Structures are given as structure tokens and as C-alpha cells.
Amino acid sequence: MSFSPDERGFYGQFGGAYIPEMLYANVEELRLKYLDIINNERFQKEFHRLLKYYVGRPSPLYYAERLSNRYGTHIYLKREDLNHTGSHKINNTIGQILLAKELGKKRIIAETGAGQHGVATATVCALMGMDCVVHMGETDVKRQMPNVLRMKMLGAKVIPSMSGNRTLKDAGNEAIRDWINNPTDTHYLIGSVVGPHPYPDLVAKFQSVISEEIRWQLKEQTGSELPDYVLACIGGGSNAMGAFYHFIDDAAVKLIAVEAAGLGVDSGETAASIARGTDGVIQGARTKLMQNADGQIIEPYSISAGLDYPGIGPAHAYLHSIGRTIVLDATDDEAIKAAFELTRLEGIIPALESAHALAALPKMKFLSSDVVVVNISGRGDKDMETYIKALR
């Protein structure tokens, strides 16, 4: 099966490519070539070889017995936290670096907020011997120093963005400017199912390895490929799209996306872009985003840097609009509580982002016979400072 947008990148009314004229040639080259390249047998072989021997896939699907007992059901954890570099992001950067090579590109640019996507990009650039430039807001450079140092050790050049409030949005603008100025030799490596077509589809297809594995791993352990529920946190939406992808046509599987409520969806300090969003264009795609009456983007807030984004991938806006996904939310406090619960019951410290998915468990009603898969998108090492503060 294949969940794909139309030729122009639309999922219903969402998606498309709303880009400045100056970017047209770059995006059009990608649009015309990406499917032929990634569907090529040699490409797929190399992609899966690296996922297996470099990333460490398949990531385990682990039956969490003590967590299951707590909620009176059967809970399986998809362990993306065990991937090389600590999250699902590497699945996409491996795919895109191979694509960039096929396109004959020599230089990779990316934008990053918390630095996780920057690290995953710098990693594959080191692996392939490609030049790597990561744009990062100056504010973020200061507060995410360990990831900045990782990127530098990997050989990437980190360029602090000095405009606006010097965070992710400003880094994104700098990356676009960079791409416009370097149209022939540079690939823009986007880190989630966002941006102009074909990025949302491209990233979804690379991340779909997550649900491809869940199907056979469940079959092996339960006798059936289909769970009753799949839960994932949602920032831009790439780990959720990866975990949902191969279940979209199976109506019996309930797909639950969990947004970051921040201090609460009605608090004004939130990143719940579906709950609080309206239709508009962000980063080149029509989708749901948090904006005021004048169409100005409202600054998002979440304790989790990876979910602190004012929009959502267009495919998620669509799946929600047709009722295929259920969108819940979790506050900062609920996520921290859920992270401690998983840690103390299973000995697994999840990323703060993944903790939002776990925080939906107490809000749901399960049957004792249900099979529930929670995608653990990343590990919590990067969040220890936040967790330790909560311990005090």
C-alpha cells in the first residue's frame, strides 16, 4: 500500500508547494526526480543496508509488561530510541543523503532548533564525506550547546541566525536564503514531514520503515499484524507518520497523535497546532498552524524542543480532517510524569517528546484484550537537566 499526495503534493486541501519564484528550480528538480530515485532497486538496497548495519534496525518492538499491568492492557514500545544518534530522525537523514548523492549534490544544508536534526544531518554528512552547513538560531546555539559541539565534532559548520528572536523560524529563513544562493550543488535536508512538496511525502516514505517493522514484529509476537491502537507524539509529525503509515488503510487500527499542550491548550503557551490552529501556509505548505487574525505566526511553547513548532505536516492536517486520526494533547507536567512512570516501571528513559505520547495512556480507555503500540521516538539523555529539575 502507499499513502501518497497527488502529483502537486496535495492531501485533500492541504499540502502543495507555496514557494518563492527563486526556489522553483530547486524544488521542481526534486519533485520530478524523487520517486524514480527512491523506488530504484539499487537505492532501496543501499538504504536498507545502512538502516540495518549503521542505524541498527530493526529497532525492537518490546512488550512492556509492567506498564501494561498499570493500564490493564497490552502495551508494546517501538524502540526508535535505540537507533544510532538516539532517535527516529536518522531514518530520514540516511534516506535524504543517498538521494542528494544521486542528484549529484556536494553540499548539505539544514536548519535545527534543539539540534537533534542537526546532529542526525551532520552524522550522515560525515558518513558520506559531504560538506554540511547547519543553520541554527543564536538563542538555540546558546541553550543547546552539547548538540552544537556534537555537530562541530562531526565536521559540520554551525551558522547562528541573528534575525528575529533567533530561534527555529529564523534558522529556517536563513536556510532558504542559503538554498536560493546555492541552487546547483546544494541539497536542503528537511527534518520532518513539513515544507513544500515533495518533502512531506519523501520524509513519510523514509520514516515508514517504522510501521513496516511494527507489522511483522507484532505478527511474530501476537499472531496478528494489526494492533488496536498506535500512539505517537507529533511536532512536525515525522515519527507519527512513520508509525502510522502502513496502517492508514486498516480502518480497525486507531491512530492517535499527541500534541504538546505546553502549559495547556487554552493557556496561550502551547504548541497544539491542530487544537489551536487554523488553515494557512507555513514553510511552503498549506496546513494547520497557530496564527493570529492577521496571519502572523503565534510563537509556540512546549517544554520539549522537538515539539515546539507552530505548524503540523500537511498529511496530518488531512488525516485529522477526515477523521482517520484522533488528536490528543499532553501538558509539560503530564509528559514529565509519564517519563518518570516509564523509567521506573521499565527502566527506559524516554525523550521528552516521546513522553507526550506516553502521557496519553491515562487519558484513554482500553480493553484488557487491546494491543497498543507506543512509538518511543527518542531517548532521554538530552533531557536530563529538565528531568532532574523535576526530581527536586
Q: Per DSSP, what are the bridge partners of residue 279?
A: 288
Residue 378 engages ligand PLP in binding (rule: CB under 6 A):
yes
Active-site position among 161, 192, 354, 377: 377
Closest separation between CB of residue 24 and ligand PLP, Å?
Answer: 26
Closest separation between CB of residue 344 and ligand PLP, Å?
Answer: 20
Nearer to ligand PLP, 175 or 370 (CB): 175
Closest separation between CB of residue 59 and ligand PLP, Å?
Answer: 13
Using alpha carbons, list the distances in angstroms from residue 111 to 40, 361, 378, 388: 28, 32, 19, 28
Cα–Cα distance, 29 to 102 (Å, whole number):
12
Site for ligand PLP, residues 40 to 69, rule: CB under 6 A = none
**Total of chain residues touching ligand PLP, rule CB under 6 A:** 18
Cα–Cα distance, 315 to 215 (Å, whole number):
21
Using the rule CB under 6 A, give the single segment among 29-37, 215-223, 231-239, 358-366 that binds ligand PLP: 231-239
Residues in the chain: 392
Closest separation between CB of residue 46 and ligand PLP, Å?
Answer: 24
- The single residue among 235, 284, 311, 314 that binds ligand PLP, judged by CB under 6 A, is 235
Cα–Cα distance, 99 to 104 (Å, whole number):
9
Nearer to ligand PLP, 74 or 315 (CB): 315
Strands 229-233 and 254-262: parallel
Cα–Cα distance, 150 to 145 (Å, whole number):
9
Nearer to ligand PLP, 97 or 351 (CB): 351
Scanning the structure block, which residue is given the C-alpha cell 515519527? 239
Asked whether 236 and 309 are in contact (CB, 8 A), the reply is yes
Asked whether 122 and 111 are in contact (CB, 8 A), the reply is no
Question: Is residue 111 annotated as part of the catalytic site, yes or no?
Answer: yes
Nearer to ligand PLP, 149 or 162 (CB): 149
- The single residue among 208, 238, 283, 302 that binds ligand PLP, judged by CB under 6 A, is 238
Residue 116 engages ligand PLP in binding (rule: CB under 6 A):
yes
Closest separation between CB of residue 238 and ligand PLP, Å?
Answer: 3
What b/e readout covers 372-390, taking b as 16+ CB neighbours within 10 angstroms?
bbbbbbbbbebbeebbeee
Q: Per DSSP, what are the bridge partners of residue 328?
A: 258
Closest separation between CB of residue 376 and ligand PLP, Å?
Answer: 8
Question: Is residue 68 annotated as part of the catalytic site, yes or no?
Answer: no
Helix (H, G, I), strand (E, B) or coil at 77: strand
Q: What are phi and psi of 115, to 5 degrees?
A: 105, -10
- The single residue among 214, 351, 359, 374 that binds ligand PLP, judged by CB under 6 A, is 351
Active-site position among 111, 213, 334, 353: 111
Q: Contact letters (x/-) for ligand PLP, 288-307, by CB under 6 A?
A: ------------------xx
Asked whether 225 and 216 are in contact (CB, 8 A), the reply is yes
End-to-end CA distance of the chain: 49
Closest separation between CB of residue 236 and ligand PLP, Å?
Answer: 4
Residue 284 engages ligand PLP in binding (rule: CB under 6 A):
no
Cα–Cα distance, 308 to 384 (Å, whole number):
18
Residue 147 engages ligand PLP in binding (rule: CB under 6 A):
no
Residue 236 engages ligand PLP in binding (rule: CB under 6 A):
yes
Nearer to ligand PLP, 271 or 370 (CB): 271
- The single residue among 115, 310, 354, 370 that binds ligand PLP, judged by CB under 6 A, is 354
Scanning the structure block, which residue is given the C-alpha cell 512512570? 341
Active-site position among 78, 89, 105, 382: 89
Q: What are phi and psi of 109, to 5 degrees?
A: -120, 150
- The single residue among 55, 233, 289, 348 that binds ligand PLP, judged by CB under 6 A, is 233
- Burial (CB count within 10 angstroms: exposed 0-12, middle 13-18, buried 19+), residue 107: middle
- The single residue among 26, 167, 192, 208 that binds ligand PLP, judged by CB under 6 A, is 192
Cα–Cα distance, 371 to 18 (Å, whole number):
40
Q: Contact letters (x/-) for ligand PLP, 79-98, by CB under 6 A?
A: --------x-x---------
Asked whether 86 and 379 are in contact (CB, 8 A), the reply is yes
Please identify every residue annotated as catalytic. Answer: 89, 111, 377
Site for ligand PLP, rule CB under 6 A: 87, 89, 116, 192, 233-239, 306-307, 351, 353-354, 377-378
